[in-house]
Every structure is written in structure tokens, then in C-alpha cells.
Amino acid sequence: MAVDEHAHRNPAFHLPVFRRNRTSVSASGVSEHLGTHTAAQAYTLASLRILTGFVFLWAFLDKVFGLGYATASGKGWVDGGSPTKGFLSSVAAGPMESTFHSWAGRTWVDWLFMLGLLAIGAAAMAGVALRPAAVAGTAMMALMWIAEWPPARHLSNGSPSMSTNPFADYHVIYAVALIAVAAAGAGTTWGLGRLWARLPIVRNHTWLR
């Protein structure tokens, strides 16, 4: 009887065990949820990195070989065409209109532009040197944004510019995408980011990551 009364009066003997189990299960569930959430983020950023890199790499290949998309067949760089002449000579708005016209088709502009497309695209797709790629890509997109000058409602000849947004066009989106994957270190998933980070020169100069 005394034993029964003691057991009824002290149910707390079982409560700590119950609470510990509940806490353990809860913590396990949270950990699993966070792990799944982190993996989903990693895969999403890796997909964004690869797709953004392909945009730059495809532009390079199309302009080199004239694949018939943005660059007509037979007009590629290997055929003697200029990757920048058509675009820069058609600039018709913005504060650098005359400057871009003077740059159109210049050899140094062609080489700088094409090497930039190749380097940025290859780095992003491989998941290496994402920080330099983000800086170079942002600079390139900024110049192209100025060349198209989305804030303009009319071109220099008075015709409508057909701009759909005065600020946020695809150049801004590409630049932000490059910055995002570089800031997140997205080269470690589906990329060579881990191997790249182990190189002595990269360990000593973190801006190369």
C-alpha cells in the first residue's frame, strides 16, 4: 500500500524520461528538416550557377562559330566577323552612345569581350573562381546595360525605345545571379569548388574562390 501511494504521489519519476524522449525526437526532426532545407538550397544555387554560366558560355560559342542563333551562320568570329561591331554600332541611347560607336569592331574590344564570356562562363559552370567571375560579369553586364540604356523612353532618332523596365532588365538579373552564387560559395555542389579551394594559391588569396 505504501508502495502504491508512493508511486501515485510521485508520477514525476516518469516525466523526465518522457520529456527527454520528446526533446530528442523533436531535435532529430528539426535537424532532419534543416538538413533537407540546406540540401535544397545547395542544389538550387548550383542549378542557378550552371544555368547562368551556360548563358555566358553559349554566347561565346555562338559568336565564335556562328551557330545561327544570335550570330548568323558564316558570320562567326572564326569566319572573320566581329563579335562586338553589330551590337555596339547599333547603340542608340545613353550617355556612352558615341563611345560605344568608336569601340565597335575594335580588335581589343573583341578579344576582351570574348575572353570575358569564355572565362565567366567556364568558371561559373565549373564552380571555380566564382568571386573573380562575379566581378568581371557584373562589370560586363553594367556596360551592356549602359549600352542598351533601359531608362530611355526614346532613342536618339526619336523613335520609341521599347524598353519594358527602366532598371531591372536581364543584365541586372545575370549580375545578381553571379554575385549570389559567389557569395554562397555555390561551387561545392555539382562543381569543382572544393578542389579549387584546396589549391595553395587559392588558400593564400581567398578572393580567387
10 Å Cβ neighbour count for 44?
13
Mean pLDDT (whole number) for 159-175: 97
Amino acid present at 121: G
The amino acid sitting at 89 is S
Percent of the chain with pLDDT over 90: 82
pLDDT (0 to 100) of residue 31: 54
Q: Which pLDDT tens digit goes with each residue over 190-207?
A: 999 999 999 999 999 999
28's grid cell: 532529430
Whole-structure pTM value: 0.83
* Cα 44 to Cα 180: distance, rounded to the nearest angstrom: 11
Please give the C-alpha separations between residue 65 and each of 22, 113, 118, 205, in angstroms, as whole numbers: 64, 15, 13, 36
The CA distance from 77 to 82, in Å, is 6
For residue range 38-72, list pLDDT tens digits in order.
999 999 999 999 999 999 999 999 999 999 999 99
User: Are residues 113 and 84 in contact, defined by beta-carbon separation less than 8 angstroms?
Assistant: yes
Q: Could you give the 3-state DSSP secondary structure of residue 10?
A: coil
User: What is the predicted pLDDT for the residue at 20?
Assistant: 47
CA 192-182-96 angle, to 5 degrees, is: 125
- What does each C-alpha distance from 124 to 59, 60, 62, 72, 105 come to in angstroms? 14, 14, 18, 26, 27
Q: What is the reported pLDDT for 137?
A: 98
Q: Give the span between the Cα atoms of 86 and 81, in whole angstroms.
A: 10
